Amino acid sequence: MDILVVLEDKSGNIHRMSQEAIAGAQQIGGECGLSIGVLALGENAPALAKQASQYAVEEILSLENEYLNNYTADGFTAAVAQVVSSENPKYVFFGHTYQSRDYVPRVSTKLKRPFLNDVVSYSTKEGKPVFSKQAFNAKLMAELQSNGDGPVLVSFQSATFSSDNIQNGTANVRSVTVEMDTGTIKTVPEEPFQEAAGGVDLSSADLIVSIGRGISKEENIPIAQELAKAMGAELASSRPVVDSGWLPPHHQVGSSGQTVAPKLYLALGISGAIQHVVGMKGSKNIVVINKDPDAPLFEIADYGVVGDLLEIVPKLTEAIQG
């Protein structure tokens, strides 16, 4: 195989960002003539492999091992490094999740191979992919291409590709093994990482209510919180809200915050600076409420309401609550 996509387990299902990585592998593989394999590992490897076998890829690798039943960076580093060494793909794709940020740099170090993290787009040059990532607070784009023959590790930012574009098919599942023992694991399994105490992983949220400078003052934030609660949504914000100290940094969406791709992104009082747009442009449906009819965010909105959010949001919350 030329591209190996490493899956992440989310409660027995393939993580959305791993699905996006598969969609990316299919797109890049189709343009560059590269074959695709998928690696499922951990306690739920058989379930993940069964799900992945419905996609148009060449082969699914299923890896079960007692030392992988609970995630540890030590265990996943050892396992993925061994599989990559034995299969020798040209590229190894990951979703840019908390988990991959934790262990993939260690895989890179162990294999002495480059890790291109947080990629946001790609192009092709002479039949090979060129990966792009943001630099200098999203003011510049860096284009990266490997000039070696060995595996290149690549993680994709949320919404670089859409999981809706995965091509379905059938693939055989092959069991693989690795050598691990009690000496492999030097750390104690912990709960999934969060950016901050009480923080949320906005990249996995299906519904997001996001507030901007138009909320006017900190005392008005409960209006948005009540709406988010009624919708079963997560609360997010633009950078000015965080810079003002009204919400903790883990709520921030944008080039210097989290990148999201929910089914619904409801933007309240957000003008739409490019630094914010790059973090939420992959949302399936974008609804904007802003009293400024010329707010740039209206340009990418699926639905827009010109009006005072302080008047509209309470009525919307009341309607949802019934």
CATH number at residue 33: 3.40.50.620
- Predicted confidence (pLDDT) at residue 234 exceeds the cutoff of 70: yes
On whether residue 291 sits in a domain, the answer given is yes
Q: Are residues 7 and 119 in the same domain?
A: yes
**What per-residue confidence (pLDDT) applies to 198?**
52
Q: Are residues 265 and 164 in the same domain?
A: no
Q: Are residues 26 and 166 in the same domain?
A: yes
On whether residue 187 sits in a domain, the answer given is no
Residues of the domain holding 135: 3-176
**What per-residue confidence (pLDDT) applies to 58?**
97
The mean pLDDT of the chain is 92
Gap between the Cα atoms of 272 and 254, Å rounded: 10
On whether residue 139 sits in a domain, the answer given is yes
**What per-residue confidence (pLDDT) applies to 146?**
84
Average pLDDT over residues 289-302: 94
Name the domain count of the chain: 2
CATH value at residue 244: 3.40.50.1220
**What are the residue ranges of helices labelled H in 123-264?**
221-231, 239-243
**What per-residue confidence (pLDDT) applies to 197?**
46
Gap between the Cα atoms of 110 and 97, Å rounded: 20
On whether residue 185 sits in a domain, the answer given is no
Q: Are residues 163 and 248 in the same domain?
A: no
**What per-residue confidence (pLDDT) applies to 255?**
77
> How confident is the model over 162-204, as pLDDT tens digits?
888 999 999 999 999 999 998 999 988 777 655 444 566 788 7
Q: Are residues 159 and 244 in the same domain?
A: no
**What per-residue confidence (pLDDT) applies to 137?**
63
Answer yes or no: are the C-beta atoms of 285 and 230 closer than 8 Å: no
Answer yes or no: are the C-beta atoms of 65 and 199 closer than 8 Å: no
On whether residue 182 sits in a domain, the answer given is no
> How confident is the model over 306-317, as pLDDT tens digits?
999 999 999 999
Q: Are residues 16 and 149 in the same domain?
A: yes
Domain end: 176, 211, 241, which one? Answer: 176
On whether residue 298 sits in a domain, the answer given is yes
Q: Are residues 162 and 209 in the same domain?
A: no
**What per-residue confidence (pLDDT) applies to 160?**
86
- Predicted confidence (pLDDT) at residue 216 exceeds the cutoff of 50: yes
Gap between the Cα atoms of 322 and 316, Å rounded: 10
On whether residue 193 sits in a domain, the answer given is no
**What per-residue confidence (pLDDT) applies to 194?**
52
> How confident is the model over 18-52, as pLDDT tens digits?
999 999 999 999 999 999 999 999 999 999 999 99
Q: Are residues 14 and 152 in the same domain?
A: yes
Q: Are residues 313 and 221 in the same domain?
A: yes
On whether residue 105 sits in a domain, the answer given is yes
Q: Which helix (H) or strand (E) holds 95?
A: strand 91-95
259 Cβ contact list (under 8 Å, min separation 6): 96, 157, 158, 159, 203, 253, 278, 279, 280, 282
Provide the greatest CA pair distance for the chain.
62
- Predicted confidence (pLDDT) at residue 111 exceeds the cutoff of 80: yes
Amino acid of residue 149:
D
Across 30-44, 130-144, 191-205, 250-264, the highest mean pLDDT is recorded for 30-44
**What per-residue confidence (pLDDT) applies to 140?**
79
Specify the higher pLDDT residue, 249 or 138. Answer: 249
Domain end: 127, 159, 176, which one? Answer: 176
Q: Are residues 16 and 162 in the same domain?
A: yes
Amino acid of residue 202:
L
In terms of pTM, does the model score above 0.75? yes
Q: Are residues 143 and 283 in the same domain?
A: no
> How confident is the model over 53-83, as pLDDT tens digits?
999 999 999 999 999 999 999 999 999 999 9
- Quick one: residue 11, left, alpha or beta (phi over 0 = left, psi -120 to 50 = alpha)? left
Q: Are residues 212 and 80 in the same domain?
A: no
Tell me phi and psi for residue 14, to 5 degrees: -70, 125
